[in-house]
Amino acid sequence: MLKSAARAFVRSLFVTIAVLSLLLPATGPVQAAGGQTGTISGMVLDAAGTPVSGAAVLATSPSGSYRATSDTSGRYSILGVVLDTYNVSVSKTGYQTQSYSGVTIVGDQTVSVAAVLSRQLQTIGRVTTRSVNSAFQPAQTQDSFTFSGNRVTEAQGKAFNTDQPALILGARLALERNWPQS
């Protein structure tokens, strides 16, 4: 009987160990409610509502940074983003960069960030000119005209005229008629 009692004890010990080995992994570290990562997705459009393909999407936070590129329909998706609060910036050559701060990722959730990009003015060339003479003449504060006897005769049809306003107006008209056109 002693042998059978020993066998029963070994058998029950073996069953207990087997049951405990199945239960112990289930009592491992407890995960937080929800997953440890989330997703950032959205669409990139221009000001007219047309999808922008090839736009770079960058999500940065102290815990890491993630990148994506918009497809031909303007859509993008960043999977496996660690839980944190991110600054998401969307950029493409020819457009002004848009930034969205405070984008918080929650476990197993998808956060949508839609971006609207505006066209950016681009410098396509520069022209530099140099001149020996300046258009600015510090000593000259107003337009000046020199009247000669020939100009007076040409403007008024007479050599002498005492009507000064008519003389000045006539001289200006004569200058405008005779000025070289460029």
Could you tell me the CATH number of the domain that includes residue 83?
2.60.40.4130
- Do the Cβ atoms of 100 and 87 come closer than 8 Å? yes
Enter the pTM of the model.
0.51
CA distances from 167 to 64, 115, 142, 147 (A): 82, 68, 19, 10
Find the angle CA(10)-CA(13)-CA(18) to the nearest 5 degrees. Answer: 125
Q: How confident is the model at residue 128 (pLDDT cuts 50, 70, 90)?
A: confident
pLDDT above 50 for 28: no
Q: What is the tally of structural domains in the chain? A: 2
Residue 24 lies in a domain: no
Residue 135 lies in a domain: no
Residue 88 lies in a domain: yes
Q: How many CB atoms lie within 10 A of CB 78?
A: 22
Q: How confident is the model at residue 31 (pLDDT cuts 50, 70, 90)?
A: very low
Model confidence over 47-105: pLDDT tens digits?
A: 999 999 999 999 999 999 999 999 999 999 999 999 999 999 999 999 999 999 999 99
Residue 12 lies in a domain: no
**Residue 96 has what pLDDT?**
93
